[in-house]
Amino acid sequence: MGAGGPAASVVPLVRPGGTLTATAATPAPEDTMPLEAGLLEILACPACHAPLREEGDELHCTGGSGCGLIYPVRDGIPVLLVDEARRPA
């Protein structure tokens, strides 16, 4: 699938002579950091909605029986797609 860089498409919108308002500023992603701690708390397995646990470069579903899918993380972006997930061995 297209693993392009949506995260790299952030272009500062500065008009000539205009003022840049910082009210809607989003925190810049830190490429060198692993997934933010708070991020895992809001992520859930799309298949069973169980919390996810980070292991290495992957996110493991903690749903237990019947699920346990493992989702890849590409360029620091969790790919929470059932089609992209793999089942545990």
Burial of 53 (0-12, 13-18, 19+ CB in 10 A): exposed
Alpha-carbon distances, residue 22 vs 12, 15, 29, 34, 61 (angstroms)? 11, 14, 16, 26, 37
Q: Please report whether residue 48 would count as binding Zn ion according to CB under 5 A.
A: yes
Report, in Å, the least distance between residue 76 CB and Zn ion. Answer: 21
Of 61, 70, 80, 85, which lies in the binding site for Zn ion, with binding defined by CB under 5 A? 61
Report, in Å, the least distance between residue 48 CB and Zn ion. Answer: 4
Of 77, 71, 50, 54, the C-alpha closest to 62 is 50
Give 67 or 79: the residue with its C-beta nearer to Zn ion: 67
Q: Please report whether residue 47 would count as binding Zn ion according to CB under 5 A.
A: yes
Distance CA(87)–CA(89), nearest Å, equals 6
Give 8 or 82: the residue with its C-beta nearer to Zn ion: 82
Binding footprint of Zn ion on the chain (CB under 5 A): 45, 47-48, 50, 61, 63, 67
